[in-house]
Amino acid sequence: YKGLTECWIDNGFQRLPGGVTSNTPARIRMTTLYFVSQSIGGRVVCTDNLSESYIGYSTRWGDNIGDFAPLANYTASEVVAIGEALGLPYDLTHKTPSDGLCGLTDEDRFGFTYEQLDTLIRTGKCDSEKVAELIREKFKANLFKHITLPQPYSFQKIYGWG
């Protein structure tokens, strides 16, 4: 990652575009996970939950990718409840959420709590109209992350299957 950023600056670019400093490490981490997975015949789990996905708090082709996504339809609060029901250690289920890259908690980056987000997702209600508007803005700004990759032809058309 350091080499990429140095090359960028060395080639005359003055600053890195927004998101690069946080998104590139997530993509490198996913590349590493797929390297290990392929090496041992394993699978990569996408651990994004509904709360993160709803506001786009993930990196395309980084932490929002995987071979299966068992938590995709559960809010962060529901994921904690599932962990508790399974008897997972408290320090694991109640760990302060953070991307591990920028030194801030998720909630510090959001400007609202998971509880506010999860309540809005499940009930449509929020204790603060300002927070509700911020959540809606993040949702709208990140809708592109939910669109399936466009493909000009289906395999059925190309190969005459079906």
* Cα–Cα dist 135/33, whole Å: 31
Axis crossing angle, helix 2-10 with helix 20-40, rounded to the nearest 10: 140
Instruction: Return the structure tokens found at 33.
Output: 């996970």
**Which two structure tokens, joined as six digits, stand for 130?**
């300002």
* pLDDT at position 130: 97
Higher-pLDDT residue of 103, 77 = 77
The token pair that represents 140 in the structure block: 């709208």
CA distances from 79 to 19, 22, 59, 84, 149 (A): 27, 24, 20, 9, 28
Four-residue CA torsion sign, 16, 131, 74, 95: positive
24 contact partners, CB below 8 Å, separation of at least 6: 1, 4
Chain segment 33-55, per-residue pLDDT in tens: 999 999 999 999 999 999 999 99
pTM as predicted: 0.79
pLDDT at 80 over 80: yes
- Give the pLDDT confidence of 84-113 residue by residue, as tens digits: 999 999 999 999 988 777 788 999 989 999
Phi-psi region of 111 (alpha: psi -120 to 50; beta: other; left: phi over 0): left
The reported pLDDT for the residue numbered 19 is 65
Looking at residue 99, what is its pLDDT?
A: 75
CA dist 34 and 64 (Å) reads: 13
